[in-house]
Amino acid sequence: MKIKLLLLLVLLCSSHGFSQEKYEPTWDSLDKRETPAWFSDAKFGIFIHWGLYSVPGYTNKGTYAEWYWNALNEDPNTPKKHRRERHEAITKFHNEQYGKDFKYPEFKDDFKAELFNPEEWASVFKRSGAKYVVLTSKHHDGYCLYPSKEASISYDMPWNSVVSGPKRDLAGDLTKAVRAEGIKMGMYYSIWDWYNPYWTKRQQKILSSGSLSVDTKAKGSKKSKYSKQEVAAAEAGLDKYIHEVMYPQVKQLVNDYEPALLFSDGDWWMDYKKWQTLPLLSWAYNNAPNKDELVINDRWGKVRGEHGNYYTTEYGSGFSDGTKPWEENRGIGMSFGINRIENIDDYRTKKELIFMLMDIVSRGGNLLLNIGPNADGTIPVIMQERLLEIGNWLNVYGEGIYDTKQWIKDAQWSEGAKPVFSKSDFHAGFPIYQMTIDPKEGDAVKEFWFSQKEDNLYAFSPEWPKTSSIVINDVVPTSKTIVTLMGCDKELPYVKTNKGIKIDVSSIGIRDLKSQFVFGFKLSNIK
């Protein structure tokens, strides 16, 4: 009997995965935690930027509309051109539409979400093929989409969606609807409040001014232009904000909503020691009700691409391989929050988005595609359309996307010089066509993207082959290998070559094609 009880205890303990591990507030300890498998298997998620900034829904093209409040308060003489231009555009718009005396916090009365139907949102997300959703529970303006008393107390006014505007728990309502569709729910949380009264803008400037050492005898120190008293007050303000606002808000999100993913942001200008994020992360790993599924990103104080369960890029190119789980996040247009000045030409087409998804998946990453709902709670039709178009494509080819991993190479390139792209090039729009179907003269293109699941290889061609056969290099078929066009029952004849495998596609007619672009071939039982 005792032996049976002992065995039962062993089984129970082993079934809890990470739950028996005790994580300390150090990177050495936290980095030992494995990333829950669901994240890398998901491949496609939906990001949602929605808040007070959705009321004006405006910025100059190519910039972020959710930075509206910050842009209004920007130094008009800032040397940074994009910030100066954004300030000029938003200030002009704001004064004309609302008047100089209208303050940003007054938007809370106009952010009503009166047409918000979480079940309709969740239905669209389900049909898009997304496996997880991430909602901005709080952006840099500090306004919360859940009942944070800390937000209202610190701002000394109604500063969450339950006590102002919509008068409802938007995060909670959406969480229930998303989970009802079998989709993972995550929360974005900005650790930075631009204008939280506990930690003034001047105090933030003091703490971001480089070396704060007033002890010029300390090795490597520089004399601060601020007094000891000013530095001490700034540090006290930060400490008050962290312990009376940030910590309680994050813990409320984790305990009350049990997000499968926690996406931190706003971290980039101070290191993790000042942000005091390590104790918070260790608390989450040790105490979250759903700690075995919880995934946390890398934005916790100048550690992007270094620490966290997964790495993130933003309107970027992602990473070259999948040795560490990673995610590229971007909007369908060039803003996360809705920007009503954008027109059809500013939105990526379904073809571009599917190309991006395939390129990211082939390199072992996830695509977190953002939508910016209107202040009334409706999702712009063009955004819904793009999501459903992706979903239609995934209905055919999802087998080669979900639960896959990187093959020995992410792509097969044609002859020619591989194009080189800078980070700024990618940020300007991810020149996916130049890499595939519209190269510069003499440049190579990606002929196929690859993914793998067990002993099955998936080869995705950006366009239908111009010849009756295709050649996929580095493939070693077996006697059991079968080649098919996904979405079609026809087996395709092939021969082994010195380089790989040559596949005859001449039997495929127009009626066999289930999409207009990105055609997936399945090669089963390869070595």
Contacts of 425 (CB under 8 A, 6+ apart): 431
13 vs 10: CA distance, rounded Å: 5
Residue type, position 459, single letter: A
Name the CA radius of gyration of the chain, rounded: 25
> In sequence order, what E strands does 400-526 have?
411-413, 446-453, 456-461, 469-473, 477-485, 494-496, 500-504, 519-526
Q: Which whole-number Å values give the CA distances from 101 to 90, 95, 96, 106, 112, in the listed order?
A: 14, 8, 11, 10, 22
What is the b/e burial string over 431-453, where b = at least 16 CB atoms within 10 angstroms of the residue's CB? ebeebbeebeeebebbbbbbbbb
Determine which of 36-50, 85-99, 355-369, 411-425 has the lowest per-residue pLDDT on average.
411-425
Q: Per-residue pLDDT tens for 494-506?
A: 999 999 999 999 9
Confidence of residue 214 (pLDDT cuts 50, 70, 90): very low
Determine which of 117-126, 250-259, 485-494 has the lowest per-residue pLDDT on average.
485-494
Determine which of 14-18, 225-229, 475-479, 483-487 has the lowest per-residue pLDDT on average.
14-18
Model confidence at 221: pLDDT above 70? no
Determine which of 274-288, 410-424, 456-470 has the lowest per-residue pLDDT on average.
410-424
Per-residue pLDDT at 325: 97
Q: Locate 154 and state its tokens.
A: 């610190």
Per-residue pLDDT at 207: 85
Mean pLDDT of 380-402: 98
Confidence of residue 236 (pLDDT cuts 50, 70, 90): very high
Q: Locate 137 and state its tokens.
A: 């529970």
Model confidence at 442: pLDDT above 70? yes
277-287 vs 247-257: helix axis angle to the nearest 10?
Answer: 20
Backbone angles phi, psi at 217, to 5 degrees: -85, -15
Q: Locate 89 and state its tokens.
A: 């555009």
Per-residue pLDDT at 15: 43
64 vs 329: CA distance, rounded Å: 14
386: part of which helix (H) or strand (E)?
Answer: helix 381-397
Model confidence at 439: pLDDT above 70? yes
Residue 294, classed as helix, strand or coil, is coil
Confidence of residue 215 (pLDDT cuts 50, 70, 90): very low
Q: Per-residue pLDDT tens for 15-73?
A: 445 556 899 999 999 999 999 999 999 999 999 999 999 999 999 999 999 999 999 99
Per-residue pLDDT at 423: 64
Model confidence at 323: pLDDT above 80? yes
Average of per-residue pLDDT values in the chain: 92
Mean pLDDT of 338-349: 96
Model confidence at 218: pLDDT above 50? no
Residue type, position 227, single letter: S
Per-residue pLDDT at 227: 84
238 vs 199: CA distance, rounded Å: 6
Provide CATH code, domain 411-526. 2.60.40
Q: Per-residue pLDDT tens for 144-183?
A: 999 999 999 999 999 999 999 999 999 999 999 999 999 9
Cα–Cα–Cα angle for 474, 475, 480, nearest 5°?
Answer: 165
Q: Where do the H-state alpha helices sit in 398-464? A: 423-427
Mean pLDDT of 482-504: 95
46 vs 280: CA distance, rounded Å: 25
Residue % of the chain over a pLDDT of 90: 86
Mean pLDDT of 465-485: 96
Per-residue pLDDT at 526: 95
Higher pLDDT, 419 or 359: 359
Per-residue pLDDT at 222: 56
Q: State the distance between the two ends of the chain, measured CA to CA, in whole angstroms.
A: 48
Mean pLDDT of 76-97: 95
Model confidence at 13: pLDDT above 60? no
Residue pair 238/274 in contact (Cβ under 8 Å)? The answer is yes
Other CB atoms within 10 A of residue 215 CB: 10
474 vs 492: CA distance, rounded Å: 18
Confidence of residue 360 (pLDDT cuts 50, 70, 90): very high
Per-residue pLDDT at 8: 45
Per-residue pLDDT at 17: 52
Higher pLDDT, 184 or 210: 184
Per-residue pLDDT at 12: 45
Question: Beta 411-413 vs 365-371: how paired, if at all?
Answer: unpaired
Residue listed under structure tokens 């995965």: 17
Contacts of 499 (CB under 8 A, 6+ apart): 471, 473, 474
The pTM of the full predicted model, rounded to 2 decimals, is 0.94
